[in-house]
Amino acid sequence: MNNIRIGCGYDIHKFLEVALFEKAAKRLYLGGVLIEGHIGVAAHSDGDVVLHSLTDALLGALSLPDIGVLYPDNLKSTKGVSSIEIIKYAYKLVQEKGYALGNADITIITQTPKISAYKEQMINSVSAALGVDKSCVNIKGKTKEGLDSVGKQKAIECFSVCLISQQ
């Protein structure tokens, strides 16, 4: 089993206050997909919880430094950086170590949007960013049944697990 490794990643971002009606406040990215018209999240980058949690799962599988170490949120140079670029870089590191993605299973926890409506688009986007087959990536949504900060629509969170194997 030496050639198979598991990774786990988590991320949460706060939704912006609804009072912020500038265009920028209306940008929610999930798995690289822009969710049209939905309130966005507070973030140094584009705040994509799907890509951030999956990036940490990929890096964690090989005990590599996590996303916050590779892309510190206090650096001007990383402000507004696309999370697609971040995950591409992380997966390049994984591939340079001789590994490739087996599969990733991703759970987005949020009251809105309804993830099932975007599932296919997100799977296409994430698998294309990594250059892997669509069947390697699964994405699903869950509410928090109105409980806690996520249930009160103050935040959106995401868990990712992945298996990578030595080529």
Task: Kindly state the smallest distance separating residue 12's Cβ from Zn ion, in Å.
Answer: 8
Residues in the chain, total: 167
CA 82 from chain centre, in angstroms, equals 11
- The backbone torsions φ and ψ at residue 104, rounded to the nearest 5 degrees and listed phi first, read -130, 140
* Interaction of residue 142 with ligand CDP, rule CB under 6 A: yes
Is position 27 an interface residue for Zn ion (rule: CB under 5 A)?
A: no
Least distance in Å: CB of 113 to ligand CDP?
Answer: 6
Closer residue to Zn ion in complex, CB, 49/99:
49
Write down the H helix ranges in 31-104: 49-61, 67-70, 83-96
Task: By CB under 6 A, name the one of 43, 50, 59, 115 that touches ligand CDP.
Answer: 115
CB atoms within 10 A of CB 89: 15
Q: Residue with the closest Cβ to ligand CDP?
A: 141
Q: Between residue 95 and residue 114, which ones bind ligand CDP under the rule CB under 6 A?
A: 110, 114
Specify the pairing of strand 29-30 against strand 33-34: antiparallel
Q: Which does 116 bind (CB under 5 to 8 A by kind): Zn ion, ligand CDP, none?
A: ligand CDP
